[in-house]
Amino acid sequence: MKKLEKEKKRQAYELLLAQQKGLLEAETNWIASLSNSSALLNETFADTVFAGYYLFEEGELILGPFQGRVSCTRIKLGKGVCGESAEKQVTLIVDNVKEQKEKFVKQKEEAERKRQEQLKALAEQRAREEAARKKFKKKKLVQLLKHNA
């Protein structure tokens, strides 16, 4: 069964690439090409939620031509699947975007927890250093007072 699914998928991709090539040869305007390409992706992969493009501009991703539901218009690098993919400059294959989003939220919460622990440790270290300075000053003051007495 899996071999049949893989073969069917391979054939779908081969047909997609041939159709995409034809679309790109027939049009020189990049917006028209991306628009038709997103329509082709959407038709080829019927179960997809988003078929389209984000364009990189001024350090962030901006929504380009696409097919699907209303989407984020701007994505910061490193944020979500698209932002992580763009930041790392790699293709990410995600089986379930909702699960991936939950993973990002957990990673963010863990990073925040670690940051809070580091800040707490830093504050405790500063408090110890301040206490040591006060103790040292008090000791010096007592020595000075004894010396002058």
| Tens-level pLDDT at each residue, the chain (149 residues) | 577 788 888 898 999 999 999 999 989 999 999 999 999 999 998 788 889 999 999 999 999 999 998 988 999 998 888 898 999 999 988 777 677 667 766 767 777 788 788 888 888 888 888 888 888 888 777 777 777 76
**Boundary of a domain, candidates 45, 75, 93:** 93
Contact in structure between 108 and 98 (CB atoms under 8 Å): no
**Contact predicate 79/60, CB 8 Å:** no
Looking at the structure of the chain, the number of domains it has is: 2
Distance CA 37, CA 24 (A): 8
What is the per-residue pLDDT across 57-73, written as a single tens digit (0 to 9) for each?
Answer: 999 999 999 999 898 89
Q: Which pLDDT value is given to residue 149?
A: 65
Angle at CA 106, nearest 5°, toward 103 and 109? Answer: 150
Q: Kindly state the helix (H) or strand (E) to which residue 45 belongs, with its residue range.
A: none
CA atoms within 13 A on the CB side of 25: 6
**63: β partners:** 54
The letter for the amino acid at 59 is G
Domain's final residue, options 93, 110, 125: 93
Q: In terms of residue numbers, what domain contains 30?
A: 2-93
The enclosing domain of 67 has a CATH number of 3.30.450.40
Would the CA dihedral through 104, 69, 65, 40 be positive or negative? positive
How many C-beta neighbours within 10 Å does residue 53 have?
17
